[in-house]
Chains A and B, each alone.
Chain A
Amino acid sequence: MKVKVLSRNPDDYIRDTKTEFHKVTRNYSKEVHPFEEQREYVRALNATKIERMFAKPLIGDLSGHKDGISCIAKHPTQLSTLVTGSFDGDVCVWNLPTRKCMKSLNAHDGFVRGIVFSTDGDRFLSVGDDKAIKVWTTNTYDMDDEEDDNAPINTILSKTVLTSITHHRRDPIFATCGEMCQLWEESRNEPLKSLQWGSDSIHHIQFNLVENNLLAACTSSRSIILYDRREGKPLRKVVMSMRPNYLAWNPMEAFTFTVANEDYNSYTFDTRNLNLPRKIHENHVAAVTCVDYAPTGKEFVSGSYDKTIRIYDVEKTNSREIYHTKRQQHITAVAWSSDNKYIYSGSDEMNIRIWKANASEKLGPVSSMIYNYYFIHVLITYPFYIHHNS
């Protein structure tokens, strides 16, 4: 008689040491894989739903303002600092990791119209309805020592109404707008230059981040005007069918900017061809009030009067994401954090909310194993990494 009985040697199936991978034997025959089609169907269904299932976008809020938020400014070098202004003239400096207000300043009489950081982030400038440009220090360490700390470093009184402010990316130069566009240097109390096109008032202005002498402004006569700091006259003008509320330059492409419009849409323009917008972003059901670009330049966030925030791909008409909560009122200001991870939104009901830019992303400390893995990976690819840093 010839006989053979299945007898497996465990050594063929069990790994020898814990550092090895588990041994895997495959058998692709149908009999060993029951319900292939149905399981694949469930898998496919899960794959399409899993991002939605884990979506949990709201992280928290910053409360402390006593009136609706009017503007938000990101720190150019620190991820943990945020400055906001409100409709009652208060300005707050926030520490984001602790979500605490580090400094509350009674800055202006009436609305705070705009806040902007200087190039190094040591100071920030604010403009308000009281025609004043105030320069403040960001430093919050010796707050209790002197009472003067709550006073501005410098106050410039403008002759005209101020509605918005923007700072040059490198030079100590900033621009304000109102009845006209004015260029200022930080060390002087008089404007360097005044630029005007027609007689309409300008309600928002923004420096280009790449071609950093370029400026774009929204006017109340439904037009967008482009300025160059080096020229004596405005460059170009686009007239839209309804009022543009806000605009943001793409931080990666010098020639694109997106306009939040009163007609419920956002428009992405190419400065080389202003006849037609490159893309019209739809979906909002009320006037779009504010936009901000992601640092990657691939996406932007828009806030609207319809109490929602939407995230758009620059190349797409429809939004990829909509964020809203029960108590959130009309959005007045949005900002996308410099690390591309968070979105800040300020709204009418005095609250600043912190959202994830990617709703289903898992936040929290990186586990030591993954960290070690990355560290080893870095060491392999860049053997002198530690040496250079130490």
Chain B
Amino acid sequence: MEDTIKVDKDDKKQFKKKFSKYEKFTAKSNFERKPLKLQSLDLEDHQLKKYERGSGKINKNKIRTGFFKNKLFEQEKNFQYAVEQAARAEILLNEDSGYLMADDGEETTEFTQDDIKQHVDITSAAKSFKLNLDFGPYNINYTRNGRHLVIGGKKGHLAAFDWISKKLYCEFNVMEEIMDVKWLHLETMFAVAQKKWVHFYDNKGTEIHCIKKMNEVNQLEFLPYHFLLASGSDNGWLKWLDVSIGEMVAQFPSLDDRITLMRHNPGNATISVGSAKGIVSFWSPAVHRKPLATILCHVAPITAMAFNSDGSKLATAGMDKLVKLWDTRSFKEPLTQYKTKAIVHNIALSQRNVMALAIGDKCEIFRTVGTGNIQSIDSYLKHSENSSISSIQYVPYEDILGIGTKNGFSSILVPGCGEANFDTLEQNPFRTKQQRREHEVKALLEKIPSDLITLDASQIVNVDIEHLEEKLDKKPEVQIPISKLNEKKTSKRSGVDNAKIKQLQKAEEKQHLLKAAKQEEFIEVRKQKKIKRNADTDDSDTNVLDRFRKKSKK
């Protein structure tokens, strides 16, 4: 009991600390009666950096004209203002993320689920539960707002439900082997990779579609912003289906004979395939039959991999019992690696980069520590199930890890793994039916074309420097229309006509040459003038009173 009281006090303190600035600011502004002009809060650099979109300030010296200098300067000011405003809005965030701290002499790994459950409120404790089911091993998938769950047992059992209120949407047996389950863009539809084909069901369990073009699929991935369902099949084929129009976008064989491990990068929508050769290859539907990149991650077959929520990090595990953490922008060497005692069969990374490894029937949870390229992983929690784990996934915006096992499903509490504050306009766990519909329409309007899938998602806002330079190099030349000059004589024309054409051509040529000569002359004159001017300024004896002299007109 004492502990909990302490926590409460701590909370209050934190709250006070957080809002003290704000209070001061409001009191001041009330006093001065200047409510419109906001006074700047002391924003720290790391706070601002969090909201910066793109880096780099403009080098003003490289801009020639004052007009553009001003224009870009104004633009820059606006960008800076937007960043500041976003950082200021941080005080309006409702929630603080969870945490688990051990007292002296204790370790967080010692705490069991029961210990944690005893120390948290009832609603949170109710989120940790267990289902004993007979049709395992189970594949699980949460929706993007973390509210809904679909589980599919290998022996055909399929169930979709709201896991917080435990409201069941549908439950039935497809009477066929289930390889993978994935929610589509909304909680009203999900895709199931069955033994032969991929089937779509709605949340009442009605079969909507049977996709016969996707056959013998092992792995499914859904790219929500592109409305693409990607599948990796038993014969090594990769296929992308646009679920908004029901058309295959691309299909081609991958490097492997069989795809058993496939994930999508949520940061750039590329599909990555982990192979038995230890290679991870990255694929886009825009580039056929050729991977965007291949990386040799392990010297043994890859058993598991996972991206973090913004796609900046990739965790891989292989038969060599190594777990490696990579930066997805540079694959030169892993940020860190960790040796496990047994082979890891599943990895999950949470929104706050808490890593979960499934090793047999045990689940080990690690925190990634450090910033940038220096990373290390610390053991955080340990949990064991009574049967082998088949699939794990963190719940977005919750401190929960979902575990599908051979004997059912269980969800466990992992304090501090989820993002505390969601953006209602992006993902809202509390949305109503009306809001869901609006969200769907907006999402469809913003559907990103599949051609834009590349390794660098922000490529679209960058300047194509290569082509621009080419273009700029071409411009200053005087272009003589060679096609006209080299026009061949045709026998059908009369001699008079030919003569006329020749005359015209000559005139044109002359004009162009004249133009070129003039331009050269002009440049030469300008150069000389410049030299002269420079010489003038250098030679003259400068006097302080020179500025009052009459300026000579040049």
Q: Are A and B subunits of one complex?
A: yes
In chain A between 54 and 78, which residues have their CB closer than 8 angstroms to a CB of chain B? none
Interface string of B79-120 (1 = CB under 8 A from A): 000000010010011111111111100101001000110011
Could you tell me if A7 and B457 are in contact, using CB atoms closer than 8 angstroms? no
Could you tell me if B89 and A6 are in contact, using CB atoms closer than 8 angstroms? no
In chain A between 6 and 30, which residues have their CB closer than 8 angstroms to a CB of chain B? 6-8, 10, 12-14, 22-30
Contact residue among A24, A37, A46 (Cβ-Cβ distance under 8 Å from B424)? A24
Q: Which B residues touch A24, using CB under 8 A? A: 424-425
Contact residue among B98, B311, B448, B458 (Cβ-Cβ distance under 8 Å from A42)? B448
Q: How far is the CB of B5 from chain A (nearest CB, A)?
A: 11
Contact residue among A25, A39, A43 (Cβ-Cβ distance under 8 Å from B421)? A25
Q: Which A residues touch B101, using CB under 8 A? A: 1-3
Q: How far is the CB of A306 from chain B (nearest CB, A)?
A: 33
* Interface segment, one of B270-278, B412-420, B468-476: B412-420
Could you tell me if A32 and B423 are in contact, using CB atoms closer than 8 angstroms? yes
Residue of B nearest to A22 (CB): B435
Contact residue among B419, B432, B452 (Cβ-Cβ distance under 8 Å from A38)? B452
Could you tell me if B119 and A28 are in contact, using CB atoms closer than 8 angstroms? no
Contact residue among A2, A26, A42 (Cβ-Cβ distance under 8 Å from B447)? A42
CA–CA, A5 to B89, complex, Å? 23
Interface flag for A97 (CB, 8 Å): no
Q: Which A residues touch B452, using CB under 8 A? A: 38, 41
Interface flag for A34 (CB, 8 Å): yes
CA–CA, A14 to B433, complex, Å? 13
Could you tell me if B413 and A30 are in contact, using CB atoms closer than 8 angstroms? no
A5-B399, A5-B415, A10-B430 known; A34-B95 Cβ under 8 A: no
Interface string of B397-438 (1 = CB under 8 A from A): 111000000000000010110111111111111101001000
Q: How far is the CB of A32 from chain B (nearest CB, A)?
A: 5
Q: Which B residues touch A38, using CB under 8 A? A: 225, 448, 452, 457, 460
Could you tell me if B115 and A1 are in contact, using CB atoms closer than 8 angstroms? yes
Q: Which B residues touch A22, using CB under 8 A? A: 424, 432, 435
Interface of B is mostly: loop
Q: Which A residues touch B420, using CB under 8 A? A: 6
Residue of B nearest to A39 (CB): B446
CA–CA, A5 to B124, complex, Å? 7
CA–CA, A159 to B500, complex, Å? 61
Q: Which A residues touch B458, using CB under 8 A? A: 37
Could you tell me if A14 and B424 are in contact, using CB atoms closer than 8 angstroms? no
A28-B86, A28-B89, A32-B423 known; A37-B461 Cβ under 8 A: yes
Residue of A nearest to B116 (CB): A3
User: What size tier do the contact residues of chain B reach?
Assistant: 35 or more
CA–CA, A42 to B451, complex, Å? 12
Q: Which A residues touch B424, using CB under 8 A? A: 13, 22-26
In chain B between 1 and 17, which residues have their CB closer than 8 angstroms to a CB of chain A? 3, 6-7, 10-11
Interface flag for B123 (CB, 8 Å): yes
Could you tell me if A4 and B96 are in contact, using CB atoms closer than 8 angstroms? yes
Interface flag for B19 (CB, 8 Å): no
A4-B98, A31-B310 known; A42-B421 Cβ under 8 A: no
Interface string of B450-472 (1 = CB under 8 A from A): 00100001101100000000000
Could you tell me if B94 and A1 are in contact, using CB atoms closer than 8 angstroms? no
Could you tell me if B225 and A26 are in contact, using CB atoms closer than 8 angstroms? no
Q: How far is the CB of B111 from chain A (nearest CB, A)?
A: 6
Interface flag for A36 (CB, 8 Å): yes
Interface flag for B253 (CB, 8 Å): no
Q: How far is the CB of B48 from chain A (nearest CB, A)?
A: 12
Contact residue among B51, B397, B432 (Cβ-Cβ distance under 8 Å from A29)? B51
Q: Which B residues touch A12, using CB under 8 A? A: 94
Interface flag for A141 (CB, 8 Å): no
Could you tell me if A25 and B53 are in contact, using CB atoms closer than 8 angstroms? no
Could you tell me if B93 and A25 are in contact, using CB atoms closer than 8 angstroms? yes
Q: How far is the CB of A3 from chain B (nearest CB, A)?
A: 5
Could you tell me if B425 and A7 are in contact, using CB atoms closer than 8 angstroms? no
Interface flag for B50 (CB, 8 Å): yes
Could you tell me if A27 and B415 are in contact, using CB atoms closer than 8 angstroms? no
In chain B between 291 and 333, which residues have their CB closer than 8 angstroms to a CB of chain A? 309-311
Could you tell me if A6 and B6 are in contact, using CB atoms closer than 8 angstroms? no
Could you tell me if B123 and A37 are in contact, using CB atoms closer than 8 angstroms? no
Interface flag for B266 (CB, 8 Å): yes
Could you tell me if B448 and A7 are in contact, using CB atoms closer than 8 angstroms? no
Could you tell me if B119 and A37 are in contact, using CB atoms closer than 8 angstroms? no
Interface flag for A35 (CB, 8 Å): yes
Among A3, A12, A24, residue most surrounded by chain B Cβ atoms (within 10 Å): A3
A28-B86, A29-B50, A30-B53 known; A7-B123 Cβ under 8 A: yes
Residue of B nearest to A43 (CB): B446
Residue of A nearest to B52 (CB): A30
Q: How far is the CB of A88 from chain B (nearest CB, A)?
A: 51
Interface flag for A230 (CB, 8 Å): no
Q: A13-B429, A27-B422, A33-B426 are in contact. List 16 more A-B contacts (CB 8 A).
A: A1-B115, A3-B116, A3-B120, A4-B96, A4-B98, A4-B120, A5-B415, A6-B397, A6-B418, A7-B124, A23-B424, A31-B351, A37-B458, A38-B460, A42-B448, A43-B445
The interface of chain B, by Cβ under 8 A from chain A, is 3, 6-7, 10-11, 50-51, 53, 86, 89, 92-103, 106, 108, 111, 115-116, 119-121, 123-124, 127, 225, 266-267, 269, 309-311, 351, 397-399, 413, 415-416, 418-430, 432, 435, 445-449, 452, 457-458, 460-461
- Name 21 A/B residue pairs within 8 A (Cβ), A-sorted: A1-B115, A2-B6, A2-B7, A2-B10, A4-B99, A4-B100, A5-B120, A5-B121, A6-B97, A6-B398, A6-B399, A7-B123, A26-B423, A26-B424, A27-B422, A29-B51, A36-B53, A37-B457, A37-B461, A42-B447, A43-B446
